[in-house]
Amino acid sequence: MSGTENGTPPTLAIVAAIAANGVIGRGDQLPWHISGDLKRFRAITWGKPILMGRRTFDAIGRPLPGRTTIVITRDTGFVTPDGVMVAPTLGAALEKAEREAERIGADEIVVVGGAQIYAQALPLANRLRLTEVHGTPEGDIHFPDFDRAQWREVAREEPPQGEKDDFAVSYVDYERV
């Protein structure tokens, strides 16, 4: 049963890959290649509304299949690709995402970037689904600081580093205390 079927709102989750130095991006790209992280991202977000800023959407370049993409932008000239919803603020995006989650029976809404959207969503989120990247790549985009005392770890995986992966990782899920 989804959260929306029993009258409770869907959970707001943040999904991010964060290096040990807080880096999440370099320019408009990820500063690493970690194939397992991409698979985890797909599994976490599949069948759910995903919220992202316009620059994150531009970096991805298309709506992701199997998910409802909601792009947050103040750019009134942003051309909406087929299958993408647009909202001018995080609040408006959350309203659209809640309606969409109810329509499709999703129990979670997922924020997938970038840094400004993460900063706005962090005080509202109930869950963090983080890939902790064990490295310190150069980058100019950082995950916002947050008080870890407000979060409790509920799951951790330590997958082996793939031979083509730039860094080892830990997959860690947190819930707000």
Query: Rounded distance, CA 117 to CA 134, Å?
Result: 24
Query: Rounded distance, CA 101 to CA 145, Å?
Result: 28
Domain ranges of the chain: 11-176
Query: Rounded distance, CA 80 to CA 172, Å?
Result: 34
121-130: pLDDT as tens digits: 999 999 999 9
Cα first-last separation, the chain: 24
- Cβ contact 35:162 at 8 Å: yes
127-157: pLDDT as tens digits: 999 999 999 999 999 999 999 999 999 999 9
Query: Rounded distance, CA 71 to CA 58, Å?
Result: 10
CATH number of 11-176: 3.40.430.10
Q: What six digits make up the tokens of 30?
A: 């990820």
Angle 71-16-64 from CA coordinates, rounded to 5°: 40
Residue numbers in the chain where pLDDT is lower than 70: 1-7
Query: Rounded distance, CA 30 to CA 137, Å?
Result: 10
pTM of the predicted protein model: 0.94
